[in-house]
Amino acid sequence: MMRVFTAELKKLFLLFKADPKSIVAGIIAPTIILLVFALTFGNFTALKLAFVNEDSGTYGTMLETSIFTQISPLGQNPYFEAVEADYDTAFDLYAQGKVNGVVVVGERFSADLQNGKNTSIEYHFNNYNTDMAKNLRLYLTEGILDFYRVTDPRLCRRLADYGRLYDFDHGSSGLCV
């Protein structure tokens, strides 16, 4: 088997020597393209996300932890970089383009969850870059699902029973959980 491989390798080198253009077309050009793509798209950076926690209970802080501890398999970096701010500052940063989005946890978030009521969070982001907007929604949903894994494992079991991974209603300007 090794003899066949060696013979094929020698034959390949002879062909390359006879036609140098095939080296350029077969090896050098794809290598340059791979390097350009690696330099252009290879550096995964976390999305800056302003987090406004108006909740006085513990669930708002737990949600924040769940969102900002999600790790990307691309480089083992977090999906989001946290920028803590009050409501007005967060939206000023958003308007200036210094953060990619804003998540607002209302003051009744913990109380509603403790009383078994539906609750919601707001998130705001520009959809000018549809891929970034999709990633922001996807990563945010992963954080919310992680929050429910910790706080309400029954919900995650129900979602698995129904064959639905994400049972969240996405709105154009917010997310209802």
- Domain ranges, ordered by start, for the chain: 2-41, 47-176
Question: Residues 99-112: pLDDT tens digits?
Answer: 989 999 999 999 99
Q: Which residue from 83, 86, 82, 80 is spatially nearest to 54, judged by alpha carbons? A: 86
26 pLDDT band, cuts 50/70/90, is confident
Question: Residues 127-138: pLDDT tens digits?
Answer: 777 777 887 888
Q: Tell me the C-alpha distance between 60 and 13, whole Å.
A: 64
117: left (phi over 0), alpha (psi -120 to 50) or beta: beta
Q: Which stretch of DSSP H or E encloses residue 50?
A: strand 47-53
Average pLDDT, integer, range 149-162: 68
Indicate whether this model's pTM tops 0.85: no
Number of H helices, E strands in the chain: 8, 6
- Using alpha carbons, list the distances in angstroms from residue 77 to 13, 111, 115, 137, 146: 42, 33, 36, 17, 17
Higher pLDDT, 25 or 14: 14
CATH level 3 topology of 47-176: abc type-2 transporter like fold (3.40.1710)
